[in-house]
Chains A and B, each alone.
Chain A
Amino acid sequence: MKQDIEQVSLPYLSRPAAVSVTDSGHTICIIPKPGEVVHLHTAVRTGSIHEDDATTGISHFLEHLMFKGTASHPAGEFDRILEGMGARINAATSKDWTQYFVTIPAGENGRFYRQALELHADMMLHPLLPEEEIGPPFDPANPQVEQKRERHVVIEEIKMGKDNPVRRCFETLNALMYRQHPYHREVIGTAEVIAAVTRETLLGYYRRWYTADNMVTVVAGDLDPASTIAGIREQFRFGAERTGPLPAFSPEPEQAETRAKHLTADVQTGYVWAGFRGPAGWALREVIALDVAMLALGEGRSSRLHQRLVEQLPDTPFFDVGSAQWEYRDETTLMAHGVCRPDVVAESAGLLRAQVAGLVPEPVAGAELEKALTRLEARFASDAERAADLCFRVADSMVRRGDLSLYTEYLPTLRALTPADVAAAVQRYLGEERLCLVTMAPGENE
C-alpha cells in the first residue's frame, strides 16, 4: 500500500493539507482547520457528461438513490443517526461531478466524525438501490399513480425547475450554447427517462463510474492528517473495478454567429441572459483572466453593469444585473444577466450586450484590475472560514484538473496576471459571434 503523503500549503490556513493516493487510485485530502466543525466530502468524477438521450438525468437520480440504504444500514438509518448528531447531509450533481457531503460537529474525541465516516463510506461503496425505494415505472402523462416513490420526488424537482423563470433562462441558454457536446443536456434530465429507467441501468452506471480511481474524498476539520487518512483508507475498501482514464469528448464546433431565443412565460418582469462558452476549466491562467473580466463587468455594486446600467442610466429599464463564470471541466460558461422592465426586454438586451462588447475597447486595467485582484484574493480568506467551502474548492480542483493546483496556484497566477492577459481572454471568448442570448417576457408558456 502506498503510504506517501504530500503536504500542500493552502491560503489563510496555518497547517498544510495532506494528500494521499491509495494503490487503488482513491485520492484523499485532509485540510486541517481549527474549530469544532468537520466537513466530509466525496466527489465522483461523473455527472450528466456521461449520459445520453436514453439515460439523461440518471446521474442525479442515482444521487437521490444513494441515500436509500445498504446491507448494513437500511434506508433512513444514515439520516437518522447523523442528523441526530446535528449533521447537515446533502449531495449535488453537475455536468462533471456528483458530490456527497456531511457537515457535522466533530464530537467528543472525534466520535461524531468517525461515525459519519463509517456511514458515508458504506453509502458510497455499498448502495442497494432497492426497487421499492425507486418505485415502479409509470407513464408520466398519467397523474393518477398510486405508488409514488423516489421517481416522483425527482419529477417534482423537475417540475419545480420548470416553474422557475431563472432556471428556464439558464437551461435555454445552455441548450443554445451546446448542440453536440454532452453538456447540452440538462443535468436533471427528463420526466420520461426518470419514470422508466430500470434499477439495472442505474446499477450499471454506478458500477461503471463509482470506482476508487474516480473518487476524491476531502475532509476539513481540526484533525490529525496522517491518522485521518489511515481511517479513510480503512473505511473505503474498494473492489477491483476501475474507471480508467475518463473519455474525452469532441469539442463543440465553433460558433460562427450570435444565437438568440425569446421565451414567454407567466412572469411580470423581463429577463435577459447572455452566455459564452469559455476556456477549459483546467486552463487556469485563462480562467482567472476571465474571473477578473466577469468580476469587473458585473459582480459587486461598483461593477460596470451595476454602475452604468442600474445606477447611472437615466430611466434605466434594469432592476438587477450580474455576471459570473461557472467552471466546468471541458469548458467554462460565461454569463451576464439582468432583470428588467417587461416592456423593453429587447432594448435591455442591447444595453447588456453593449457592456459586454465594451470590454474590448475599454479593457480591464489600472484601478479596476487592482480591485478585482483584491476581491478575488479575499475569497480565499472567506473559504478558510468554513470547512464546507474549503472542501468544495479543493474537490472542484481535483475534478477539473486531477490535483489541487487549481486552488493552490490560483493566487500566484492571479498576482502575475497582466492587463494583456485579461484583454486576450476577453478577445478570444467574449466576441459577439460567440454570444448566445436568451430573453424572457410575459406571455403564454411555450
Chain B
Amino acid sequence: MSFETTGLSNGLPVVVSPAPGTPRTAVCIAIRGGSRTEAQPGVAGLAARLLLKGTPSRSAERIADEMDRRAIDLDEISGSEHMMLRATFLNSQLEPALDLMADILQHSTFADLPKEAARLAGEIQASLDQPVARARDLFVRSVFPGHPYGHTGSLVLKSLPGLDVEGVRGWYRRQLGAGNMNVVVVGDVDPDAVVPALEARLGGIAPGGEPSVAPAVSRVVGPVIATEVKAEAHQAQIYQGWYTRGHGHLDRAPLSALNTLLGAGGLSCRLFVELRDKRGLAYTVRSGFSTFADVGLFSLYIGTSAENIRRALEGFAEQMARVRDEAILPDELAHAQGHLQGEFVLGHETNTQRCTDFAVHHILGLGLDFTARFLEEVLATRPEDLQRIAQEYLSPEPVAAVVATREALAAAGLGSP
C-alpha cells in the first residue's frame, strides 16, 4: 500500500494513497479524543450523530438527500479514542463529497439534540433486547466501572436526559483542531489535485485541539461474576475478561497471536474445537482482544443453553489453564501467525478498509506503517512469549458477566431462585 503524506497550511496531516482503476474513493477524517474524554456517558456518541443533522446551509433533510442522490455512503463513527467521518463514493463524486464532509465537520449546529437523543435512546433499548448485547453491556461496565471506557448503552440511556446542546457542542469544539486530526484519501485520485481540494475546504480549521486526556482505569480485582436476570431466555450469555496493556505496548503482538489461537482464528481455534465441536455447548464461542490507549481487554464469550452455565465456565477455566500451564506447540503458533498474515490481506481488500486503517493508526499515534510493523512483531513471536503473557495477564480470577433466567443463574450457583 503506497501512500504520500503532506499537510495543509494549518498543519492538518493529509495521507493520500492512490488506487488506480478502482471505482470508488474513500475519505476518512479522524479527530483524536473520543468517548474517553467525555464527562457524561453519551456525549461523544451524540455529537457524532448530530454531525449529520444540519448546518446553517444544509438541513438534515438536505444532507440525507445529498448523500442518497449522489450515492455517498457516509458514516459517523464514535470510538473510545477518536471520532471519524468516513465517506465512500463513486470517483465522479469526489468534489461534492468533500464539500459535504467539510461543511458538516465545521458547521454542524447540533440543534436537533432532543430528537436525536430520543432516537438514540430507542436504538439502545432495541439493541439491549438482544441478550448478547445486554451481556456485553453488563460485562464492559463491570470491567471499567466509573471510567468512560465503561460508558455502555445502558449508562448512556440514564445520562441522555441530562445532556444539552451547549455541553455536546462545547465538547466537540474542543476536540476539533487541525493538530488533533487527520484526513486520508484512498482511491483513483491524483494527489496533486486532491491536496489543494482539501486545503480549500479544511485549511481554515484552527490549529491545535484539546489534548486527549482521560482518567486512569481503576482495575477491578477478580474473581468477580456480575449477573443480570433476563425474564425469558433459551440461552445464557457469558463473558469473561482480563486487563492487558494499551495499544502501543509490545505485548500486543503475542496477545493477538494467542487470541487467534484460542478463539478468534475461525473454525480451527481451541475454543471452537473444544467447546463447540467436541462438547456441543454453543453455536457461538470466541475470544476477543481489544486495546485502548491505556489498557487492553482480553475476553471470552459463549452463548449456551441455560443448563450449561457451569459446564461452559469450567470449559473456559480448562482452556485458560492450558494456555498458562502447557507449552504452546510451534506448529500451533505458526498456524496463528499464518492466519493473521492472511487476515491482513483480506482486511485490506477495499479502499474503505485501507483508508480506515491509515486514519485510525495515525490518529492513535501508532504510525502509518503500524500494520506492517505489527505483522513483523507477530511473526517474531515465540511459543514461550505466549505462555509468558498468558501467565502474566490471564489469571484464574477474571471479571465475568452472565445474563440468564433467574432459574438458570440459581442452578449454576450464581443467585437465588
Contacts and interface: CB of A to CB of B under 8 A. Distances in A.
A104 to B, nearest CB: 7
A28 to B, nearest CB: 23
A381 interface: yes
B67 A300 contact: yes
Contacts of A150: 277, 280
Contacts of B121: 319
Interface string A140-159: 00011000111111111101
Nearest to B123: A319
Nearest to B331: A84
Interface residues of A, number: 77
A381 B22 CA distance: 9
B68 A149 contact: no
B265 A160 contact: no
A37 B345 contact: yes
Given A86-B345, A266-B233, A382-B24, A374 B350 contact: no
B107 interface: no
A300 B339 contact: no
B129 interface: yes
A74 interface: no
B335 A444 contact: no
B409 to A, nearest CB: 15
Contacts of B68: 300-303, 371, 375
Which interface residue of B122, B269, B282 has the most chain A CB atoms within 10 A? Answer: B122
B23 A385 contact: yes
5 contacts: A83-B268, A83-B335, A85-B338, A266-B230, A303-B68
Closest 4 CB pairs of A and B: A86-B342, A319-B122, A148-B280, A152-B280
Contact of B21 (A14, A164, A300, A310): A14
Interface string B225-268: 00000111111000000000000000000000000000001111
Given A302-B68, A385-B350, A385-B351, A269 B125 contact: yes
A135 B273 contact: no
A35 B24 CA distance: 15
A386 B126 contact: no
Given A385-B352, A386-B349, 8 more contacts: A133-B277, A159-B234, A159-B305, A267-B129, A269-B129, A319-B123, A340-B122, A367-B69
A89 B70 contact: no
Given A301-B67, A381-B90, A385-B350, A79 B339 contact: no
Which interface residue of A105, A382, A385 has the most chain B CB atoms within 10 A? Answer: A385
B325 interface: no
Describe A's contact surface by its main secondary structure.
mixed
B368 to A, nearest CB: 20
Interface in A62-86: 67, 75-76, 79-80, 83-86
Contact of B268 (A80, A307, A311): A80
A391 to B, nearest CB: 13
Contacts of B129: 165, 267-269
B232 A266 contact: yes
Nearest to A299: B68
A156 B273 contact: no
Nearest to B60: A311
B122 A105 contact: no
Which interface residue of A76, A86, A311 has the most chain B CB atoms within 10 A? Answer: A86
A34 B351 CA distance: 13
A163 interface: yes
Contacts of B119: 310, 319-320
Interface string B115-130: 1001101110110111
A105 B233 contact: no
Contact of A80 (B115, B122, B280, B335): B335
A86 B283 CA distance: 22
A83 B280 contact: no
B9 interface: no
Contacts of A307: 61, 64
Interface of B: 21-24, 52, 60-61, 63-65, 67-71, 88-90, 115, 118-119, 121-123, 125-126, 128-131, 230-235, 265-269, 273, 276-284, 303-305, 307, 334-335, 338-346, 349-352
A371 B235 contact: no
Which interface residue of A154, A265, A339, A387 has the most chain B CB atoms within 10 A? Answer: A339
A378 interface: yes
A401 interface: no
Contacts of B64: 300-302, 306-307, 311
A86 B349 contact: no
Nearest to B284: A160
A269 B265 contact: no
A274 B63 CA distance: 28
A102 B282 CA distance: 23
A64 B380 CA distance: 36
Given A83-B267, A143-B307, A301-B64, A151 B232 contact: no
B231 A160 contact: no
Contact of A320 (B90, B123, B269, B343): B123
Given A159-B234, A269-B122, A445-B232, A143 B338 contact: no
Interface in A148-187: 148-157, 159-160, 162-165
A59 B101 CA distance: 47
A409 interface: no
A371 B68 CA distance: 7
A83 B339 contact: yes
Contacts of B277: 75-76, 133, 149-150, 153
Contact of A88 (B126, B232, B266): B266
A159 B282 CA distance: 10
Contacts of B118: 319
A185 B69 CA distance: 39
B339 A151 contact: no
A320 B230 CA distance: 24
Which interface residue of A89, A153, A157, A267 has the most chain B CB atoms within 10 A? Answer: A153
B266 A83 contact: yes
A436 to B, nearest CB: 22
A385 B342 contact: no
A234 interface: no
Which interface residue of A35, A79, A377, A387 has the most chain B CB atoms within 10 A? Answer: A79
Given A83-B267, A269-B129, A153 B351 contact: no
Given A79-B268, A306-B64, A381-B90, A153 B69 contact: no
Which interface residue of B233, B277, B349 has the most chain A CB atoms within 10 A? Answer: B349
A325 B115 CA distance: 29
Contact of A387 (B61, B89, B349): B349
A151 B118 CA distance: 43
A353 interface: no
